[in-house]
Amino acid sequence: MRLNWASHLTRGLALIVVFPCNGLWAVASDPVRSPDTISMDDSNPFFAPSSLPFHAPDFAAVKVEHFMPAFDEGMRQQLAQMDEIANQAAPPTLDNTLIAMERSGEILDRVAPVFFHLSGAYTNDAIQKLEEEIAPKLASHSDNIYLNRKLFQRVETLWKGREQGNWSEEQKRLVEKYYENFVRAGARLTADQQARIRAINEELSTLTTQFQNNLLAVAKERSLLIEDVSKLEGLSASDLSSAKQGAAARGHEGKYLLSMQNTTRQPVLTSLKNRETRKAVWLASANRAMGEAGGIDNRPIVLKLAKLRAERAKLLGYANHAAYTLENQMAENPQAAFKMLQDLVPGVMAKARIESEKILEAMRADGIDGPVEPWDWEYYAERVRARDYSVDETAVKPYFEMESVLQNGVFYAYGKLYGISFRERKDLPVWDPTVRVFDVIDVGGKTIGLFYADYYHRENKRGGAWMDAFVSQSRLRGHQPVVVNCMNIPQPAPGTPTLLTLDEVTTMFHELGHGVHGLFSSVEYPLLSGTNVPRDYVEFPSTVHEDWAIDPEILAHYARHYQTGQTIPKDLLAKAIAASKFNKGYETLEYMAAALVDLGWHSLTEEQIPSDVESFEKELLNRFGVDFAPVPPRYRSSYFAHVWSGGYSAGYYAYLWSEVLAADAFAAWKERGGLKQSNGQDFRKAILSRGDSRDVMQQYIDFRGQKPTVDALLIRRGLK
């Protein structure tokens, strides 16, 4: 039973109705029909299992009007199933209680992954309107289950007898996780307290949806329209063509549109020579959703979310939301997360200041006086990189053509490590023509699941990169996995190749790491399947695969010039790898600052919530010694989707926590011979197949033989 679809997927979202047609979402003129006008018949594809391979969603059959009836009927059926479990006369057993709960909610398990995926990857006005309606309903539905006293009594009885039951490790884990979920939802609270919890959860679901929908709207609001092409000097012909196409799509023929991507820094800042244009881009990015000139303002939502989360934590008996969130994570408490970040501050700040001196030196050579500004850093970092390492991004990108990276890099590396292969198929419907589908074939030739690749940026797609699961593996349900990777690679002009940055290449390796975490899952119960693991562990199986992107054997196989086919020259490769270590002070500091902002907000009590967002951010960064003007946080609060709408509240530190594990594990791979199947199979058996069926630190020890150390991380980030 999975009741956290929206937060687990971590996906965001004038009224028109759209429906799939030949893989596209076409506009319909009829309004969305209310649930009571649609009967439970064959016209709704969510009312019965999909007939496609592995129960993959039939995107050619799905219409927006199918979602609400499926959600309503799915919730109705699951609540009826829960009432039957709760009210039965027989004493609680694993079969008649927890396994019965795991079998419940089949309609919801079909409709929710599809809906929340599309709300982030292919949204529109109709989906956004539906999400605003569905989110509070799902919050109430979850409370109706977890605050059911009779149901909790049965779960608690099983939990109390967990040491006496003749159960497997996975069955005992299932009991413990259910008990934990019920207690953390408020099952032990009084009736009045539970009523307040319900109200808070409903309001939180509404506000997080509003926050994410605002970010989708603000991406258009804050796009920069340029009329004079001379102000875009430094952009490649492909980038200019994309900017021109973007402007034309908005009705601005002959002009150029620079769209904002999700982080504070923007990719074009590395190339734009015009300092005023860089400044305009940076300000448009950094001041997003802050109500400038009467525009969209997420700050009131931030304050309300922080206050509600703090109030809920207090009701549940915790000092603050961070204490509540981290209780069942690897860190266990906010003090441990703060300490990890604070221990890195001196070294990271020293590294960033050294880098800033080089940036300032390059600026002076261009005749620019004054301090380093945030809009200067990335442009001059590329100049320093080119000067000190004799390489720049434009020299490397021709060797990173996307199809070669995917087939000869990512798929090749995962094949060498795990013995799997990917076979593209064209017979399954998708939500956009650029989406591709692959059979994933295991050692011995058995197809174990489906992999969807959705790599290109769209205006109706949220920023960043992520993995979703349309179908999660479960032996109990007889389900095999169907997963998708999403990125936001700019789509080139027709007839031109897609050339990637090294960062985009690394992200492709990273996201398929999430993918195989879902694809290799081999557990009995849905609750424990795949990536349903603690937040500060879920990024570990993906991050550990990143370093294969710059492994010499893998690079030699995929890094070939898109025109000549020439393998990337060894000297250029060596310089590119060395250059990739440059700017790590900047990259680590901007991440740490954002992680501290997140923990800072969520370590407050309800009474401590401030009234001014910007002042709180400034004071917090200064308090922790990371207020360095040229290096702003990767996200400011008003567009920090990870923590306000994406399920990472008090958990953004998890990327660095997971990187400690990843760097240590990759070092183990190299110690044991590197890229060979025996290493991959060991990792698959101990980590990727286990989901949350075993304590995650024990999983790591099973693979590594010991707990991780930070040494490999410091080397990986060029800090040691």
Q: Residue 7: its pLDDT value, please?
A: 39
Q: Residue 232: its pLDDT value, please?
A: 96
Residue spans of the domains in the chain: they are: 5-146+148-185, 222-294, 398-535
Write out the two tokens for 77: 């059926």
HEC string of 30-74 equals CCCCCHHHCCCCCCCCCCCCCCCHHHCCCCCCCCHHHHHHHHHHH
Using CA atoms, how far residue 282 sits from 259, 268, 342, 380, 594, in Å, is: 11, 10, 28, 14, 17
Q: Residue 17: its pLDDT value, please?
A: 25
End-to-end CA separation in angstroms for the chain: 45
Q: Which distant-in-sequence residues (6+ apart) come within 8 Å of 364 by Cβ?
A: none
Q: Which residue has the tokens 């430094």?
A: 234
Write out the two tokens for 124: 């529109």
Q: Residue 41: its pLDDT value, please?
A: 67
User: Chain-centre distance of CA 537, in angstroms?
Assistant: 13
Residue-by-residue DSSP string for 278-331: HHHHHHHHHTTTB-GGG--B-HHHHHHHHHHHHHHHHHTT-SSHHHHHHTTSSS
* Strand ranges for 125-170 from DSSP E: none
Q: Which distant-in-sequence residues (6+ apart) come within 8 Å of 683 by Cβ?
A: 417, 544, 665, 669, 703
Write out the two tokens for 430: 């998708």
Q: Which of 393, 511, 587, 659 is catalytic?
A: 511
Instruction: Report the distance separating Cα 59 and Cα 432, nearest Å.
Output: 10
Greatest alpha-carbon pair distance for the chain in Å reads: 83
Which residue in 333, 331, 279, 296 sits closest to 217, CA to CA?
Answer: 296
* Strand ranges for 367-516 from DSSP E: 421-425, 436-441, 447-456, 466-471, 482-489
Q: Residue 709: its pLDDT value, please?
A: 83
CB atoms inside a 10 Å sphere around CB 103: 16
Write out the two tokens for 282: 């940076």
Model confidence, pTM: 0.88
| Low-confidence residues in the chain, pLDDT < 50 | 2, 4-38
Q: Is residue 511 among the annotated active site residues? A: yes
Of 3.20.20.70, 3.40.50.10540, 3.40.50.1260, 3.40.390.10, the CATH number of 398-535 is 3.40.390.10
The dotted CATH code for 5-146+148-185 is 1.10.1370.40
Which residue in 712, 595, 590 sits closest to 655, CA to CA?
Answer: 595
User: How many DSSP H helices and E strands does the chain contain?
Assistant: 29, 9
Q: Which distant-in-sequence residues (6+ apart) come within 8 Å of 580 by Cβ?
A: 502, 550
**HSE of 96 in the Cβ direction (CA atoms, 13 Å)?**
12
Q: Which distant-in-sequence residues (6+ apart) come within 8 Å of 456 by Cβ?
A: 434, 487, 488, 489, 490, 491
Q: Residue 470: its pLDDT value, please?
A: 98
CB atoms inside a 10 Å sphere around CB 577: 16
Residue-by-residue DSSP string for 318-373: -SSHHHHHHTTSSS-SHHHHHHHHHHHHHHHHHHHHHHHHHHHHHHHHTT--SPPP
Length of the chain: 720
Provide the residue type at 260 as one letter: M
Instruction: Report the distance separating Cα 348 and Cα 368, nearest Å.
Output: 26
Q: Residue 33: its pLDDT value, please?
A: 35
